[in-house]
């Protein structure tokens, strides 16, 4: 991409989209298009096509999505499936229709089977049943991958897909009802510390293993891929390292400075037992993550204290 290339970042206010914007700006890109959902409702085909016709972006980062943790995915499956499929279909089709040079679609590692050989390679997709608690979201993301693949096959579009592992970082969602595990734990331990609570409850056994990638590393990988990768195979983006949820909780507890006990609520689901990505394809293109987990969590907690914790009423 040239520094003055017209780049549309869909979902620029979200954690991933805002990180991509930061990365592009740091690299000297000067023509970044941003639109809020009030300005362009990505679920509405007519609005999306009008936007693409008027703005004619050259490159697209498709980071817009309805996202959430186990509770949100399991409680609102119809919304997760419908909203995400509409967003993807509208942007991908308009990118084809209005001659976008290259598009990068962002999926999620939940696309892979619940019980998959570890670490998970890209070609394990559709090789087994999905995790039921986030099946709707996974199906939507799989549809996005397939759309990119078939628009490439039928029309010759240079559309690629990246599959990030569990993400965390600046601008994360700390709502306990809809957030992912890491930001939820940051908030839980902080509130318990402030309130002087003697214990913090975490879901499940704490035994499932998860891989966590700092969102600014993902953004850097996305810009790298749009410049250096072109193929129908989606690319896993992660660290190649994982950790037990119970161990993660202990790390966050120490960073926050909470002195109480951690209690496991065994009535709550664990979700997928393990989800570690094989990142050899990504690394073969010349990219590797930079941010260590403890360093990243420290940055997140510092941001949380500055930007979010004051909004919470006790």
Q: Where would I find the beta strands (DSSP E) of 108-228? A: 159-164, 166-168, 199-203, 209-210, 212-214
Whether the Cβ atoms of residue 92 and residue 106 lie closer than 8 Å to each other: no
CA distance 232 to 218: 20
* 137 counts as catalytic: yes
SS3 174: coil
User: What are the binding residues for NADP(+)?
Assistant: 11-17, 106-109, 141, 164-167, 180
What is the torsional sign of CA 302, 304, 310, 314? negative
Whether the Cβ atoms of residue 130 and residue 81 lie closer than 8 Å to each other: no
Catalytic one among 8, 137, 214, 304?
137
CA distance 84 to 239: 26
CA distance 265 to 202: 6
What is the torsional sign of CA 177, 179, 182, 184? negative
* C-alpha closest to that of 258 among 198, 170, 171, 177: 198
User: What are the binding residues?
Assistant: 11-17, 106-109, 141, 164-167, 180, 188, 203, 210, 270
Beta pairing, strands 32-33 & 7-10 = parallel
Q: Where would I find the beta strands (DSSP E) of the chain? A: 7-10, 32-33, 59-62, 102-106, 159-164, 166-168, 199-203, 209-210, 212-214, 235-237, 243-244, 261-265, 274-275
Question: Any idea which residues carry the catalytic annotation?
Answer: 137
């Amino acid at each position: 991409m040239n520094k003055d290339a017209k780049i549309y970042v869909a979902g620029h206010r979200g954690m991933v989209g805002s990180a991509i914007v930061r990365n592009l700006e740091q690299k000297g890109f000067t023509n970044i298009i941003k639109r809020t959902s009030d300005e362009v409702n990505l679920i509405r085909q007519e609005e999306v096509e009008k936007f693409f016709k008027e703005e004619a972006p050259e490159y697209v980062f498709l980071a817009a999505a309805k996202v959430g943790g186990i509770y949100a995915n399991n409680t609102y499956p119809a919304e997760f499936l419908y909203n995400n499929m509409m967003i993807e279909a509208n942007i991908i089709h308009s990118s084809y229709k209005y001659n976008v040079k290259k598009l990068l679609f962002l999926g999620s590692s939940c696309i892979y089977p619940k019980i998959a050989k570890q670490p998970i390679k890209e070609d394990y997709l559709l090789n087994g049943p999905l995790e039921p608690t986030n099946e709707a979201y996974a199906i939507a993301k799989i549809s996005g991958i397939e759309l990119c693949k078939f628009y490439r096959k039928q029309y010759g579009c240079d559309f690629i897909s990246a599959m990030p592992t569990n993400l965390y970082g600046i601008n994360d969602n700390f709502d306990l009802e809809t957030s992912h595990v890491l930001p939820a734990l940051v908030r839980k331990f902080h509130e318990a510390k402030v309130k002087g609570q003697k214990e913090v409850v975490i879901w499940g056994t704490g035994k499932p293993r998860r891989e966590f990638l700092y969102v600014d590393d993902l953004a850097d990988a996305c810009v790298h891929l749009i410049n250096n990768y072109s193929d129908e195979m989606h690319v896993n983006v992660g660290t190649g390292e994982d950790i037990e949820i119970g161990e993660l909780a202990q790390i966050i507890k120490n960073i926050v400075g909470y002195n109480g006990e951690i209690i496991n609520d065994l009535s709550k689901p664990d979700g997928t037992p393990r989800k570690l990505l094989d990142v050899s394809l990504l690394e073969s293109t010349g990219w590797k993550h930079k941010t260590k987990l403890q360093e990243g969590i420290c940055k997140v907690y510092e941001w949380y204290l500055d930007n979010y914790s004051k909004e919470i009423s006790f």
